[in-house]
């Protein structure tokens, strides 16, 4: 890999008939970076990834992945990337070992390379000793790690993960992210889409895409700055739904969200603080157990960005 | 090529582990062979016959044994009264009755015409006609020795001046099995090759492995070769197994060259695999693929190939359609090889047609698949 950006995207656009799925998106991903791609279903995440992988031709704009222009040489892109999707596309009837050998051959590895990478993948996925288990008999977490292993057999400098942790238990998800972080430290660039906003915290930088447009981009810390002058308070009470209704009546409150049994309220800049809000609520007869200013979560950011964009 | 081999090896392993594929590839052909081989039989044999012998002489006994020894009739009962065989026919115990008049031998020796009565149950017109045909030919043969005249033949006592000596070549006993079994081979080969190929590609679409394969630097050509080769080998194996089984079970002869048979089979199966691939580029689910494959292979091969209905007797419009049914060409080649022992000079146009069909199908399917990939 040459030094510099692993992925460069400029004004990338894709139309399907009259519908614009991806609308003039531009961003750069550095080498070794974990880049998160957030967006609702149908926002254009998958279309973007498919273009970056060389599966779909852009209508206009350019994307350079691993030094290759995807619209000029999609086949060369394929050799430089690894791809893994939610479906964990393994052959279920084949054993762990047979899957590894098959995908190794697909990426043009010779027997020595396959043997070497096989050891690496088995160790990485924690599947040593289970080489002859059929893929369909593996639990979700193992299958997912095996799928990742198969996707990086050819040691690609860039890896695309399309909602890789769907349907996997939390422990396996954490293990999986540890693998991703290891890969990133070894210099592999990772572009990942996810539904789980807590997972997005693992990303070095995040892009939020909405209705085909790039709505926000930056580190998790930078994105949260949109709440810098708008405090978020978390209110615990016995009747959260009624509290929420009361808050919605107040001019000083921008919006409210229910977080489990607590209520999150975004305060308008400089109008009211947590202590004053407690007094107001108690004056209305609510029993308030706790009211604290909290850090904005990525979920707050995501919802705010999407609401403002539409 | 290494990649194509890897795809092929993977496919073989999947087939071995996939019960549905195995079932389609192994048991369906065997099942069809037995079912159609035995059920699709236009021959009439073991006709249960009652005899009313009012003569009881060596001449009458000789006539009865001529019926029994023909192999078509089983002697079911001797009756003495007209009402007995009426009852037996009504009960379905017998299909035919032979009534020999009194003084048969005496009148034969005197050189007189003797009417012999044959009664056939006509509830199944086809069978009745066949049975009557057998009976007449037996009586005619006997009459040349004994001058017994069948009742329905208007001939003079001196016998016919021109006698017909019919000879049927390649299938002297006119066994319908010999005509049907080649059709069955074509039919089974077509169905198993088309369905299994179509299903195997669509399954990858359904399970999402197709997308993963598309992400790999693998050419459509390598993928198609790897994908079809195992099914080609398996279809070839099962087709040859069917030919062998037909020889054992139905007495199918092998008068021609195995090499030519394998060549014809190869061209035919290549076309079938192409059709299967074509379907897989259209269908999105295994169920849709299965139905399309069945419709595209089952009906035309059954109805329009000359397997069951002779092409020559079809209306012109339908006859025109048969030209795009590959089984039509394959059947001619197959019957020529196994029944007639004929060589290339006889059926090379059929092989050319098969090759053109296969090339066309495979090219069209590859093109479609390639377009879908990029």
Q: Please answer yes or no on whether B213 and A106 come within 8 Å at the CB atom.
A: yes
Residue A287 pairs in a beta bridge with none
Average confidence (pLDDT) over A133-156: 89
A81 or B36, which is more confident? A81
Residue A265 pairs in a beta bridge with A233, A256
Average confidence (pLDDT) over A170-188: 91
* Both structure tokens of B278: 């074509």
Q: Please answer yes or no on whether B14 and A55 come within 8 Å at the CB atom.
A: no
Q: Which residue of B has its CA nearest to A84?
A: B212
> Has residue B171 got a pLDDT over 50?
yes
Average per-residue pLDDT for chain B: 82
In angstroms, the CA B36 to CA B47 distance is 21
In angstroms, the CA B319 to CA B301 distance is 13
- Window from A48-57, B63-72, B153-162, B236-245 with minimum mean pLDDT: B153-162
Angstroms from B1 CA to nearest CA on chain A: 10
Query: What's the pLDDT score for residue A163?
Result: 86
Name residue, tokens 């990772």: A190
Q: Which residue of A has its CA nearest to B372?
A: A55
In angstroms, the CA B218 to CA B205 distance is 16
Query: What's the pLDDT score for residue B174?
Result: 59
Q: Where are the domains of chain B?
A: 2-40+175-373, 47-150
pLDDT digits (tens, 9 = 90+) for B69-124: 888 888 888 888 888 888 888 888 888 888 888 888 888 888 777 888 888 887 77
Angstroms from A297 CA to nearest CA on chain B: 34
Do A9 and A26 meet the contact criterion of CB atoms below 8 Å apart? yes
Query: What's the pLDDT score for residue A115?
Result: 92
* Mutation for testing the A interface, residue in B6, B21, B199, B216 having most A CBs under 10 Å: B216
In angstroms, the CA B7 to CA B224 distance is 9
> Has residue A148 got a pLDDT over 60?
yes
- The runs of H, that is alpha helices, within A126-239 are 140-151, 170-185, 197-200, 220-224
The continuous run of DSSP H or E covering A47 comes out as helix A45-52
Query: What's the pLDDT score for residue B160?
Result: 46
Q: Please answer yes or no on whether B13 and A83 come within 8 Å at the CB atom.
A: no
**B18 at the A interface (CB within 8 A)?**
yes
Query: What's the pLDDT score for residue A2?
Result: 46
Query: What's the pLDDT score for residue A1?
Result: 41
pLDDT digits (tens, 9 = 90+) for A101-134: 999 998 888 999 999 999 999 998 888 888 899 9
In angstroms, the CA A71 to CA B17 distance is 40
**B156 at the A interface (CB within 8 A)?**
no
Confidence tier at A227 by pLDDT (50, 70, 90): confident
**B74 at the A interface (CB within 8 A)?**
no
Average confidence (pLDDT) over A252-264: 87
In sequence order, the 6+-apart residues with CB closer than 8 A to the CB of B51 are B64, B67, B75, B77, B78, B79, B97, B98, B100
Query: What's the pLDDT score for residue B168?
Result: 59
Query: What's the pLDDT score for residue B155?
Result: 43
| Residue among B302, B283, B265, B286 at smallest CA distance from B365 | B283
Query: What's the pLDDT score for residue B107?
Result: 84
Per-position DSSP letters for A263-293, written without gaps between them: EEEEEPTTT--HHHHHHHHHHTT--EEEEEE
Q: Please answer yes or no on whether A108 and B17 come within 8 Å at the CB atom.
A: no
Query: What's the pLDDT score for residue B146?
Result: 61
In sequence order, the 6+-apart residues with CB closer than 8 A to the CB of A80 are A65, A66, A67, A68, A156, A157, A158
pLDDT digits (tens, 9 = 90+) for B213-240: 888 888 888 888 888 888 898 888 888 8
pLDDT digits (tens, 9 = 90+) for A26-38: 999 999 999 999 9
Q: Which domains are delineated in chain A?
A: 5-218 (3.40.50.300), 225-309 (3.30.70.100)
Q: Which residues of B touch A68 (CB under 8 A)?
A: none
List all residues of chain A from 257 to 296 with a beta carbon under 8 Å from chain B: none
> Has residue B14 got a pLDDT over 60?
yes
In angstroms, the CA B336 to CA B343 distance is 8
> Has residue A206 got a pLDDT over 80?
yes
Average confidence (pLDDT) over A53-62: 90
Residue A34 pairs in a beta bridge with A190
**A159 at the B interface (CB within 8 A)?**
no
In angstroms, the CA A63 to CA A191 distance is 14
**A133 at the B interface (CB within 8 A)?**
no
* Both structure tokens of B170: 């390649």
Query: What's the pLDDT score for residue B245?
Result: 85
| Residue among A117, A183, A177, A94 at smallest CA distance from A141 | A177
> Has residue B205 got a pLDDT over 90?
no
- Window from A196-210, B181-195, B277-291 with minimum mean pLDDT: B181-195
Average confidence (pLDDT) over B353-373: 89
> Has residue A3 got a pLDDT over 60?
no
Query: What's the pLDDT score for residue B42?
Result: 62
pLDDT digits (tens, 9 = 90+) for B276-326: 999 998 988 888 998 898 888 888 888 888 877 778 888 888 888 888 889
Average per-residue pLDDT for chain A: 88
pTM value > 0.90: no
> Has residue A260 got a pLDDT over 90?
no
Looking at the partner chain, which of B5, B14, B213 has a beta carbon nearest the beta carbon of A93? B14
In angstroms, the CA A158 to CA A129 distance is 29
Pairing of strands A288-294, B73-78: unpaired
Rounded to two decimals, the ipTM of the complex is: 0.72
In angstroms, the CA A300 to CA A83 distance is 30
List all residues of chain A from 208 to 267 with a beta carbon under 8 Å from chain B: none
Query: What's the pLDDT score for residue B374?
Result: 63
> Has residue B136 got a pLDDT over 90?
no
Q: Please answer yes or no on whether A94 and B13 come within 8 Å at the CB atom.
A: yes
Query: What's the pLDDT score for residue A62?
Result: 92
In sequence order, the 6+-apart residues with CB closer than 8 A to the CB of A144 are A88, A164, A165, A168, A172, A176
Q: Which residues of B touch A148 (CB under 8 A)?
A: none
Q: Please answer yes or no on whether A90 and B209 come within 8 Å at the CB atom.
A: yes
Confidence tier at B154 by pLDDT (50, 70, 90): very low
In angstroms, the CA B99 to CA B83 distance is 12
- Window from A159-173, A230-244, B109-123, B165-179 with minimum mean pLDDT: B165-179
Query: What's the pLDDT score for residue A64?
Result: 93
Q: Which residues of B touch A55 (CB under 8 A)?
A: 214-215, 374
Query: What's the pLDDT score for residue A298?
Result: 87
SS3 per residue for chain B:
CHHHHHHHHHHHHHHHHCHHHHHHHHHHHHHHHHHHHHHCCCCCCCEEEEEEECCCCHHHHHHHHHHHHCCCEEEEEECCCHHHHHHHHHHCCCCEEEEECCCHHHHHHCCCCCEEEEEECCCCHHHHHHHHHHHHHHHHHHHHHHCCEECCCCCCCCCCCCCCCCCCCCCCCCCHHHHHHHHHHHHHHHHHHHHHHHHHHHHHHHHCHHHHHHHCCCCHHHHHHHHHHHHHHHHHHHHHHHHHHHHHHHCCCCCCCHHHHHHHHHHHHHHHHHHHHHHHHHCCCHHHHHHHHHHHHHHHHHHCCCCCCCHHHCCHHHHHHHHHCHHHHHHHHHHHHHHHCCCHHHHHHHHHHHHHHHHHHHHHHHHHHHHHHC
| CATH code of the domain occupying B47-150 | 3.40.1710.10
Query: What's the pLDDT score for residue B165?
Result: 59
Q: Which residues of A touch B374 (CB under 8 A)?
A: 55, 57, 74
pLDDT digits (tens, 9 = 90+) for A72-92: 888 888 889 999 887 767 888
* Mutation for testing the A interface, residue in B215, B220, B230 having most A CBs under 10 Å: B215
């Amino acid at each position: 890999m040459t030094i510099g950006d692993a992925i460069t995207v400029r004004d990338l656009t894709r139309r399907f008939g009259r519908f614009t799925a991806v609308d003039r998106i531009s961003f750069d991903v550095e080498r070794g970076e974990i880049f998160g791609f957030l967006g609702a279903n149908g926002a254009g995440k998958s279309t973007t990834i498919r273009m970056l992988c060389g599966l779909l031709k852009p209508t206009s704009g350019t994307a350079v992945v691993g030094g290759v222009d995807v619209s000029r040489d999609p086949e060369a892109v394929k050799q430089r990337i690894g791809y893994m999707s939610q479906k964990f596309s393994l052959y279920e009837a084949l054993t762990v070992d047979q899957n590894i050998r098959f995908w190794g051959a697909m990426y043009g590895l010779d027997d020595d390379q396959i043997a070497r990478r096989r050891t690496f993948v088995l160790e990485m996925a924690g599947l040593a000793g289970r080489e002859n288990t059929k893929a369909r008999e593996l639990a979700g977490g193992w299958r997912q790690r095996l799928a990742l292993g198969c996707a990086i057999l050819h040691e690609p400098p860039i890896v695309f993960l399309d909602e890789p942790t769907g349907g996997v238990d939390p422990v396996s998800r954490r293990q999986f992210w540890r693998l991703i972080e290891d890969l990133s430290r070894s210099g592999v660039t990772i572009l990942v889409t996810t539904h789980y906003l807590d997972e997005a915290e693992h990303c070095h930088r995040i892009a939020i895409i909405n209705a085909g447009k790039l709505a926000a981009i930056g580190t998790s810390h930078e994105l949260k700055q949109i709440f810098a002058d708008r405090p978020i308070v978390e209110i615990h009470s016995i009747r959260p739904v009624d509290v929420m209704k009361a808050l919605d009546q107040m001019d000083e409150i921008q919006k409210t969200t229910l977080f489990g049994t607590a209520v999150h309220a975004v305060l308008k800049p400089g109008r009211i603080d947590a202590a004053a809000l407690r007094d107001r609520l108690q004056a209305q007869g609510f029993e308030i157990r706790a009211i604290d200013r909290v850090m904005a979560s990525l979920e707050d950011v995501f919802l705010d960005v999407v609401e403002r964009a539409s | 090529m290494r990649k194509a081999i890897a795809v092929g090896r993977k496919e073989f392993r999947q087939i071995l582990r996939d019960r549905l594929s195995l079932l389609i590839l192994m048991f369906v052909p065997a099942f069809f062979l037995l079912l159609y081989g035995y059920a699709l039989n236009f021959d009439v044999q073991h006709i249960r016959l009652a005899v009313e012998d009012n003569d009881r002489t060596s001449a009458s006994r000789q006539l009865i044994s001529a019926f029994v020894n023909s192999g078509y009739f089983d002697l079911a009962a001797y009756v003495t009264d007209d009402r007995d065989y009426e009852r037996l026919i009504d009960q379905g115990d017998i299909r035919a009755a032979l009534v020999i008049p009194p003084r048969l031998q005496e009148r034969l020796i005197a050189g007189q015409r003797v009417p012999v009565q044959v009664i056939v149950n006509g509830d199944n017109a086809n069978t009745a006609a066949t049975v009557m045909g057998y009976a007449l030919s037996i009586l005619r043969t006997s009459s040349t020795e004994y001058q017994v005249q069948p009742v329905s033949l208007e001939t003079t006592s001196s016998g016919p001046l021109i006698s017909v000596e019919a000879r049927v070549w390649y299938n002297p006993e006119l066994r319908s099995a010999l005509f049907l079994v080649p059709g069955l081979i074509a039919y089974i080969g077509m169905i198993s090759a088309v369905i299994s190929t179509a299903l195997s590609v669509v399954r990858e679409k359904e399970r999402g492995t197709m997308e993963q394969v598309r992400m790999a630097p693998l050419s459509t050509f390598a993928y198609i070769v790897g994908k079809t080769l195992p099914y080609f080998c398996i279809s070839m194996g099962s087709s040859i197994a069917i030919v062998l089984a037909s020889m054992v079970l139905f007495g199918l002869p092998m008068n021609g060259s195995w090499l030519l048979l394998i060549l014809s089979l190869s061209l035919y199966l290549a076309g079938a695999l192409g059709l299967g691939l074509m379907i897989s580029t259209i269908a999105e689910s295994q169920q849709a693929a299965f139905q399309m494959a069945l419709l595209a292979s089952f009906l035309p091969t059954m109805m329009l190939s000359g397997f069951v209905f002779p092409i020559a007797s079809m209306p012109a419009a339908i006859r025109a359609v048969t030209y795009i049914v590959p089984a039509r060409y394959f059947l001619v080649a197959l019957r020529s090889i196994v029944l007639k022992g004929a060589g290339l000079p006889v059926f090379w146009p059929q092989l050319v047609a098969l090759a053109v069909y296969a090339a066309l199908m495979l090219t069209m399917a590859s093109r479609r698949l390639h377009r879908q990939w990029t």
